[in-house]
Amino acid sequence: MTELLFQRDSYIQDFNAVVTQVDPDNNAIILDRSAFYPGGGGQLPDSGTIKSGDSILQVKRARKAGPEILHIIEGEFEAPQIGEQVHGQLDWERRYQLMRTHTAMHILCGVIFRDYGASVTGGSMEPMSGRMDFEFETMRKELVEEIEAAINIEVNNARPLRVDILPREEAFQIPDLIRTKINLLPEGITEVRVVEIEGLDLQADGGTHVHNTSEVGQIEIPDYKSKGKINKRIYVRLTS
């Protein structure tokens, strides 16, 4: 079982770990602990390197496999020994961009729910841009500017983010979480990771976020699309 370092501290850029398995079928290495985010919840998996002895292995991407994280290596490599200590290093520029983008998406969710009562149904992101789908019947072109202004106010408000890992029962008591479809979580899950933008948004979420909305910087809404009477897709872009 891999200890998921990113769950409690999203700012870990590099870390020491011990090799627990080598998986030749997936050209992958498994470690006892990892800061590599394996993807999920609309956030892309991390890439980076693992230094083993004198060789630096390129991690193409991380991937979840049950309780483990596979670090999928680019090309052929000499397998490290089980029990060997290695050093992992994230492609931090890309990951930090993804953290800022992910937090921008939660700002958008929070503002749209607060101001229009519309719930999010899904989303995806790239570094510095993303899109989110809402059940937002009243969305129209004229609102783009209004929403853009409102989300940038929340960036400037410099709201702190908080991450908590709560027992399932406790998480289910939080009314704000119900609207983000927490009830869809599988039966077997006993803990729920909760990401809160203080005073704005609260979601069950496994992703990595910045500590404060001010780190996101200016957000633009370059476009939106109607995906039917109810469903609307809103695009966001970070400008710097």
Q: How far is the CB of 162 from Zn ion (least distance, A)?
A: 14
Please identify, using beta-carbon distances, which residue of 17 and 109 lies nearer to Zn ion: 109
Label the pairing between strands 3-4 and 33-34.
parallel
Distance in angstroms (rounded) separating the CA atoms of residues 128 and 131: 11
Q: How far is the CB of 26 from Zn ion (least distance, A)?
A: 26
Q: How far is the CB of 106 from Zn ion (least distance, A)?
A: 6
Please identify, using beta-carbon distances, which residue of 38 and 207 lies nearer to Zn ion: 207
Please identify, using beta-carbon distances, which residue of 60 and 64 lies nearer to Zn ion: 64
CA 222 from centroid of its chain's CA atoms: 22
Please identify, using beta-carbon distances, which residue of 98 and 147 lies nearer to Zn ion: 98
Please identify, using beta-carbon distances, which residue of 148 and 205 lies nearer to Zn ion: 205
Neighbours of 221 (CB within 10 A): 19
Torsion-angle region of residue 228: left (phi > 0), alpha (psi -120 to 50) or beta? left
E strands, the chain, in order: 3-4, 14-23, 28-31, 33-34, 48-52, 55-65, 68-73, 85-90, 119-126, 129-135, 161-167, 191-197, 201-204, 219-226, 231-238
Q: How far is the CB of 232 from Zn ion (least distance, A)?
A: 18
Q: How far is the CB of 180 from Zn ion (least distance, A)?
A: 9
Question: Which spans of this chain sit near Zn ion (rule: CB under 5 A)?
Answer: 41, 205, 207
